[in-house]
Amino acid sequence: MIMIPRTEKIPHHWIEEIINLVGERIVVVDREGIILYINGAYCEFLGTTVEEAIGKPAQDVIENSRMHIVAKTGQKELAAVQPINGSEMIANRYPLIIDGELVGAVGTVMFRNPEDWLLYKDKIQHLVEEVNYYKTKAEKNSKSKYYFSNLIGNSPSFSAVKKLAERVSSSQSAVLLLGESGTGKELFASAIHNNSMRADYPFVPINCASIPEHLLESELFGYDDGAFTGAKKGGKKGHFQRANRGTIFLDEIGDMPLAMQSKLLRVLQEREILPVGGQKSIAVDVRIIAATHRNLEEMVEEGTFRQDLYYRLNVIKIEIPPLRERNGDVELIAYNLLEKLERKFFRKGIKLSAKVVERLNQHKWPGNIRELENVLERSINVLDGDTIEVVHLPLYLRDDETGSIPKKSNEKESVNVAERHIESLKETLAQAEKQAILNALSISNGNKLEAARLLEVGKTKFYEKCKIYAIQ
């Protein structure tokens, strides 16, 4: 081994090699976020070269970069999750201070090769899922509750269902809400709760499909102090304890794993829960309202849903009709949604043209009310005046005419190009992507895992797309 005298400095090219060996991808920027230095290993991962990267803004070279922000604020960001090339990297960003002056920032990404990154990814995937779950839960809890007056519709099928829900709201029995995605199952659950003797107590909505399986038990039933590594000191109450004396709404109950179904059945039978890591059961008084778009009877026959749990939940069954079966309700709902959207966009007096109403009534609405709201919001975004015309509708609705006779190929049509609305390619692709997702969900009877398989995309990416397009 060669000993280096302390008086000698390490050569510059040694330092860069040391950085590469310890697995760091490193970049240095000035106060304006312009790249002054980036090592070859980082460039190789990014698909560029050192020569091409140096002198460019960091955000033009590194996807989702925040280096220019740290260089301005002087605030370090440690162990930050940064999406790059379809994966989540672990990034550290430090302000670079020389002689007391902020001159730029240094950033690193911690991995050496794809194998090491896969190891890191396995370790942090659960953390990413937890963050996404808690974010979604916080957003949902901030929404207002609903009453029967918020359930709009005069069609015979809808009126009968609404009347039944009002009649049983004073009961203490379990309710099972059935219906396609977007039909308003949570609105019904909230209305039933707010019309019951439990209205002064909590209404706790839980989406069983959105909670990672390894978190489901602790989220529903809570956990005791020291139940597992990373458990909150003193333990944590679960959703059933939070809902005590009130109502718990278990949405997408058909996606609950079999192991959890057994534990839920015990809670329904014994009226008590056992927190994870706990030794003593805790009595709870909650009313259960469950909902699903799936066929639970078929799942019972297939062995994917417990028969005894099904009968416990299916005391009062309410089947909410899809929008396409609610004759005359589309226009009423549309104007009700417009009132809500007017507050969001600070607009007043928005109307629908007669042709738009006709087109809305013609459409089959695979995404139900949620799809209708998305269509109206999109229309308001491109609206110049106060009346929504056909030209403001998404492309797939503008082409959704029934009973129209196709023109022969040799017919000539006079077209005023200035009056035609042409969507951008990005917008057109987005509409096509959304429609493909809705079609896949329709074919798979709302099973998101099956829909993702049909579209040949990963589960995480599919759920991200559903969130972008507000598809549930």
Report the distance separating Cα 402 and Cα 446, nearest Å.
26
What's the confidence (pLDDT) of residue 415? 42
Average of pLDDT values for 40-49?
A: 85
What's the confidence (pLDDT) of residue 314? 93
Mean pLDDT estimate for the chain: 83
pLDDT > 90: percent of the chain: 43
13 exposed, middle or buried (CB, 10 Å; 0-12, 13-18, 19+)?
exposed
Average of pLDDT values for 130-149?
A: 65
pLDDT beyond 90 at 33: yes
More confident residue, 112 or 392: 392
Least confident among 133-137, 182-186, 356-360:
133-137
pLDDT beyond 50 at 323: yes
State how far the alpha carbon of 466 is from the alpha carbons of 368, 439, 441, 452, in Å. Answer: 15, 13, 10, 10
- What confidence tier does 356 reach under pLDDT thresholds 50, 70, 90? very high
pLDDT by residue (tens digit) across 201-258?
899 999 988 888 888 888 899 888 766 666 666 788 889 999 999 999 999 999 998 8
In the block, which residue shows the tokens 């009347």?
A: 163
pLDDT beyond 60 at 13: yes
The torsion region of residue 230 among left (phi > 0), alpha (psi -120 to 50) and beta comes to: left
pLDDT by residue (tens digit) across 21-31?
665 688 999 99
Average of pLDDT values for 85-101?
A: 83
pLDDT by residue (tens digit) across 368-413?
999 999 999 999 998 888 999 999 998 888 875 543 333 433 444 4
pLDDT by residue (tens digit) across 251-297?
999 999 888 999 999 899 999 998 888 888 899 999 999 999 999 99
Rg of the chain's alpha carbons, rounded to an integer?
Answer: 28
What's the confidence (pLDDT) of residue 42? 84
Instruction: Say how many C-beta atoms besides its own lie within 10 A of residue 298's C-beta.
Output: 12
- What confidence tier does 414 reach under pLDDT thresholds 50, 70, 90? very low
What's the confidence (pLDDT) of residue 462? 86
Average of pLDDT values for 356-370?
A: 91
Tell me the domains of the chain and their CATH numbers.
14-111 (3.30.450.20), 144-226+235-321 (3.40.50.300), 327-401+422-468 (1.10.8.60)
Apex 88 CA angle, 83 and 89, nearest 5:
95
Task: Indicate the pairing of strand 272-273 with strand 282-283.
Answer: antiparallel
What's the confidence (pLDDT) of residue 287? 94
In the block, which residue shows the tokens 């057994």?
A: 262
In the block, which residue shows the tokens 């970069």?
A: 65
348 exposed, middle or buried (CB, 10 Å; 0-12, 13-18, 19+)?
exposed
pLDDT beyond 50 at 350: yes
What's the confidence (pLDDT) of residue 169? 93
pLDDT beyond 70 at 49: yes
The pTM of the full predicted model, rounded to 2 decimals, is 0.57
Report the distance separating Cα 383 and Cα 109, nearest Å.
44
Phi, psi (deg, nearest 5) at residue 181: -60, 135
